[in-house]
Amino acid sequence: MDENLRQKAMALEIFNQQLQMIQSEITSIRALKSEILNSIETIENINANEETLIPVGPGVFLKAKIVDDKALIGVKSDIYVEKSFKEVIEDLKKSVDDLDKAEKEGLKKAEELSKAIANLRRELQLEMQKVQQKEQENKKNEEN
């Protein structure tokens, strides 16, 4: 295999790894978006002075009474701010919008990369066919 083929094969491998990373990021974005949308729905359905179940772990809930329409929302790691349910929902919807943009960018990159991979595969196949034809011609010439 000549150097050009080797380089294209390596580029193809790198592109495939990049595509897998982008697809993994898109999956993570979608999971986070789903979690945020569930949070919005939960907050919208909570009323002050009402009993509800609060999840504290996998399959574990505490019965609690909501005393007002405020929640703590994380603004940085280990920093939380108290906001009204309405403000929290607005913040969460903004996060969903940001995630939508990131998902669209990721999908666009994945599509571009997929096209590049397809083109590179075609080039590699054509070059491999040429190499094989050349080898067959050389073999025939040696036999004669």
Convert the pLDDT of each residue in 112-124 to its tens digit: 999 999 999 999 9
Note the Cα 114 to chain centre separation in Å.
15
Convert the pLDDT of each residue in 41-68 to its tens digit: 999 988 888 898 888 999 999 999 999 9
Phi, psi of 90 (to 5 degrees): -60, -45
How much is the pTM? Answer: 0.80
List, in order of start, the domains of the chain with CATH numbers: 3-143 (1.10.287.370)
Specify the DSSP class assigned to residue 48.
T
Phi, psi of 70 (to 5 degrees): -125, 150
The pairing of strands 70-76 and 79-84 is antiparallel
